[in-house]
Amino acid sequence: MGDDSVNRKSNRQLKIIGLVLILTVLLISIVLFQSASPMRKAKKQGIKISREIANIETVDDFYWFTREKTYFTVVGKDASDTEKIVFIPQDGTEAVVMNADKGIESSEAVQKVLDLKETKKIKKVSLGLYDNKPVWEVVADSIDQGIKYYLIDFNQGEIVNTIS
């Protein structure tokens, strides 16, 4: 009888531990899902707006850009396969639409930063408006252990601002 009682107690403890583990995983999943929600909502809304105002049919990239103002930037192609960029201000002011072939690609902006030989690793690249001009923002770990933000003019390909 003693062994049977021990087995039931062990089974009950295993069930409780299993239930606690399942609840923990579920709770972590909910927290992670909720934390990504603002980005998903912004992307969904940005794509909807870009389809309405620029006839974007296929979306290639989405960027969340924050400097003076916050912009949601959608890069995609319309029905005639013209690649367009739509800069959508978070504050609801008028969006800006332009053809993507008017400027440099993200890889060229990254190369401008790498050519400076000041960085260890590129962390993020995004596209937005700064002083009402399109810019690539390249965020990098610098050699001196800090983070640097480089703004590269989309049209000219020149670095217009650096923030350490």
CATH number of 38-99: 3.10.450.40
CATH topology of domain 106-163: Nuclear Transport Factor 2; Chain: A, (3.10.450)
Please tell me the pTM assigned to this model.
0.73
With H, G, I as helix, E, B as strand and everything else as coil, classify residue 137: strand
Q: Contact, 46 vs 95, CB < 8 A?
A: no
In this chain, the answer to whether the domains covering 38-99 and 106-163 adopt an identical fold is yes
Token output for 94: 């008028």
Q: What is the pLDDT of residue 2?
A: 57
Read off the pLDDT of residues 129-164 as tens digits, 9 standing for 90 and up. Answer: 999 999 999 999 888 878 999 999 999 999 998 888
If DSSP codes are grouped into helix, strand and coil, which group holds residue 139?
strand
Residue 76 has pLDDT above 90, yes or no: yes
Domain ranges of the chain: 38-99, 106-163
